[in-house]
Amino acid sequence: MKAVILAGGKGTRGKPYTEYFPKAMTPINGKPLIEYIVNYLNSFSFINEIIIISDYEGLGGQIKNYYNNQNNKKNITFVQDSQSGTGGDLLHIEQKLAGGSEFVLWFVDNLCAIDLKSMRDFFKEKKSSACIATRTKRKEETGFAVVKDGIITEFKEKPKMELQLSECLGIYILGKDILKRIRKLKQKEINLSFDILQELSKEGKISAYDIGDKEWMDVESPMVLDRNKKTVQKIIKQMEF
């Protein structure tokens, strides 16, 4: 089974930092974010190749240079971003995905020690075309208050909230039939979520794998990591690094 890491985003939310390095190279304890993801994916015996898509002609070149210097890229393939959207990127690497019935898609700004084996089993059990990691609990970054008749009776400092809707995270398992759907769209840029998954959801072909109490972090910038040091360290520990 192959895993695809999408690391070609512009990192708009991470500016000004992402004007100097790609989001994938955001430092955590002296190592870039992408190394944690690559090492974690390699910890699953059924992952035999990792394809990293990025703009290697731009800042993404730092990713390739990092692995060239590390000499530990034996199962990593680097592919230039096709500039045709998330769906277009997958179609661009269709031949490289040959040999398997499904693959992992991991957006590089997602840090989570998700149980990919359990997620893959769930994907197969539901006979779905796509499985998206979700969560229904979220620890807030701000304080809340219990209010009765306009009076605060209690403070809740950064509580863990139950969400009314499931929050979609950037870790997917996709069946190869997704590529056929992408190919049918005759447009220059294809957004996987809006152009493909939206329609699949109406057909009941997308399963949701709830991560439960697992921690998840949207690594949008070094500032977010700094504000959430305890959560980041907990995730890294769960990843067994």
pLDDT digits (tens, 9 = 90+) for 93-152: 999 998 889 999 999 999 999 999 999 999 999 999 999 999 998 877 778 889 999 899
Which of the pair, 189 or 15, is modelled with greater confidence? 189
10 or 46, higher pLDDT: 46
Mean pLDDT of 197-210: 96
**Confidence at residue 140, expressed as pLDDT on a 0 to 100 scale:** 78
Q: Average pLDDT in the 141-168 region? A: 87
Length of the chain: 241
Q: Is the pLDDT of residue 72 over 70?
A: no
Domain positions in the chain are 2-136+164-238
Residue 199: which region, alpha, beta or left (left: phi > 0; alpha: psi -120 to 50)? Answer: alpha
pTM: 0.91
Residue 71 has pLDDT above 70, yes or no: no
Q: Give me the chain's average pLDDT, please.
A: 91
- Cα–Cα–Cα angle for 78, 81, 83, rounded to 5 degrees: 170
- Give me the pLDDT at residue 12, please: 67
d(C-alpha 128, C-alpha 80), whole Å: 29
In 3-state terms the chain splits into helix, strand, coil percentages (rounded to 5) of: 35, 30, 35
- Of the two residues 19 and 207, the one the predictor is more confident about is 207
pLDDT at 204: 95
Residue 18's pLDDT is 76
- Provide, rounded to the nearest whole percent, the portion of the chain with pLDDT above 70: 96
CATH fold for domain 2-136+164-238: Spore Coat Polysaccharide Biosynthesis Protein SpsA; Chain A (3.90.550)
Cis omega (within 30 of 0) on the bond before 16?
yes
